[in-house]
């Protein structure tokens, strides 16, 4: 019988806040709004990118009209992807734990409200993407 384990990505396996700060501050700058510092953005996290965007603008007492909001979300995603996730890191001990689970026969799954492509890219950049594939299964 196979053993399965599922991990959340953000805040559990990785700290990606600094790349989110870069992306959000780029979006805010496009509206001539001052940047947010990491601690301010951290309390806004949860519930996905769209809610983060709403909260970031609300922190500046601003609500965007629908079209501007959609454009801000698209800009956020583009800038976030362009960071190459350069400041995203695994938490201490995560790589070792994942490797041990994989060695012990666990099939490791990932849950995230991030789109799939950034998840794959982040795992590859952090050199743990191979641990999220069950190489014995035929799909």
For the annotated catalytic residues, the residue numbers are 8
Greatest alpha-carbon span in the chain: 57
Contacts of 39 (CB under 8 A, 6+ apart): none
Contacts of 49 (CB under 8 A, 6+ apart): 73, 76, 77, 80, 113, 114
β 3-8/106-111 pair status: parallel
Distances (CA, A) of 66 to 34, 59, 63, 74: 21, 18, 9, 12
Distance (Å, rounded) from C-alpha 41 to C-alpha 27?
13
């Amino acid at each position: 019988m196979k053993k399965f384990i599922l991990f959340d990505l953000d805040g559990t396996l990785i700290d990606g806040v600094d790349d989110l700060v870069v992306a959000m501050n780029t979006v805010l700058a496009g509206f001539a709004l001052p940047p947010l510092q990491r601690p301010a953005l951290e309390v806004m996290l949860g519930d996905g990118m769209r809610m983060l965007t709403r909260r970031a603008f609300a922190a500046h007492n601003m609500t965007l009209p629908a079209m501007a909001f959609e454009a801000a979300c698209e800009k956020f995603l583009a800038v976030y992807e362009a960071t190459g996730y350069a400041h995203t890191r695994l938490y201490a001990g995560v790589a070792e734990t994942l490797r041990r689970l994989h060695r012990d026969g666990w099939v490791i799954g990932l849950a995230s409200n991030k789109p799939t492509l950034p998840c794959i890219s982040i795992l590859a950049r952090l050199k743990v993407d191979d641990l999220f594939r069950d190489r014995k299964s035929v799909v």
